[in-house]
Amino acid sequence: MEMHSARRLEALGEPPFYAEQGEECRLFEHAHASRLPLLIKGPTGCGKTRLVEHMAARLARPLITVSCHDDLSAADLVGRHLIQGGDTRWLDGPLTRAVREGAICYLDEVVEARKDTTVVLHPLADDRRVLPIERTGELLAAAPGFMLVISYNPGYQNLLKGLKPSTRQRFVALGLDYPAPAVEQAIVTTESGCTPAVAAQLVRLAQALRRLTEQDLEETASTRLLVMAARLHVAGLPLLASCRAAIVDALTDDADTGAALHEVLRAVIGDG
């Protein structure tokens, strides 16, 4: 059983919907063509993963995604020996498979992984483009088309969970933020099927919540949460209840903070 959370996206049909904010798609294309690794940084729910999925399809490359967590080790990425039927066999990890196949390997929230994990990336993230597999003695060269993409949320990290300069300086960096209101409205409408008027209300709510500075919130209202609220509303739940469940109550467990967010919710959405 593999010890990582990995997902493949085959580059078939139309690319997943992505509303471009600036030149990020062009930068991604040029980084891929130049065989450069890419670091995407931005707040939770702003579209980092969707951008990678969209570009993998546009570039016609298979995508292997790993959601990083505290227990993710270098062995989980590279692979390990398994005993099966009395025999020992090697099983490639998701990073090794991507290197062999020329896939895009996306490490989501890479700073959540254990520190030894990022060191494994260094030979792949410079001109060598190789993956040393110590347990098999193999020095694996990246197949054509391979690209390493990592992401993290800089606003959520502390000093113990930051990227080392020796790692960061191997990557081309791309910063994303929440989209401009008109773009965000288009995203919410397209992703949920709600009316433009409802999407506009949700975006106004998000802007109001994002302006709150006196509340102790680890995260604010993301585009992802707006889409979730819109989908609940399209399914028949009143808009106020949809926003309460998908946005406000998802942002905090603190009673006082929740009450303040509910006041903002009622001021923007009303009793609809």
Q: Give the sign of the dihedral formed by CA 241, CA 247, CA 248, CA 253.
A: positive
- Residue 53's pLDDT is 97
At residue 19 the predicted structure's pLDDT band, cuts being 50, 70 and 90, is very high
Domain co-membership, 99 together with 16? yes
Calculate what percentage of the chain has a pLDDT beyond 70.
Answer: 91
CA distances from 12 to 62, 171, 229 (A): 9, 28, 29
Which pLDDT band holds residue 118 (cuts at 50, 70, 90)? confident
pLDDT at residue 7 in the model: 38
Indicate the pLDDT class of residue 13, thresholds 50, 70 and 90. low
Which residues on neighbouring strands pair with residue 63, listed in sequence order?
9, 104
Last residue of a domain, one of 175, 202, 218: 175
Same domain (yes/no): 11, 102: yes
Computed on alpha carbons and rounded to an integer, the radius of gyration of the chain in Å comes to 21
195 lies in a domain? yes
In which band, very low, low, confident or very high, does the pLDDT at 8 lie, cut at 50, 70 and 90?
very low
Q: Is the pLDDT of residue 237 over 70?
A: yes
Question: Helices marked H in the chain — which ranges?
Answer: 24-33, 48-58, 74-78, 94-101, 115-121, 165-168, 181-192, 196-210, 223-234, 239-243, 249-251, 255-269
Quote the domain boundaries for residue 148.
6-175
State the average pLDDT for the chain: 89
Q: Does residue 1 carry a pLDDT above 50?
A: no
71/197 same-domain check: no
What integer pLDDT is reported at residue 191 of this predicted model? 96
Average pLDDT over residues 79-90: 85
pLDDT number for residue 166? 87
pLDDT at 217: 76
| Number of separate domains in the chain | 2
Predicted TM-score (pTM) of the model is: 0.88
| 212 & 108 share domain | no
* Token digits of residue 208: 């109001």
186 shares a domain with 163: no
- 165 and 185 housed in the same domain: no
pLDDT in tens, 177-209: 999 999 999 999 999 999 999 999 999 999 999
Query: Given a cut of 80, is residue 111 above it in pLDDT?
Result: yes
| Residue 255 forms part of a structural domain | yes
255 and 210 inside one domain: yes
Rounded Cα distance between 190 and 223, Å, is: 12
Main-chain phi, psi angles of 104, to 5 degrees: -90, 125
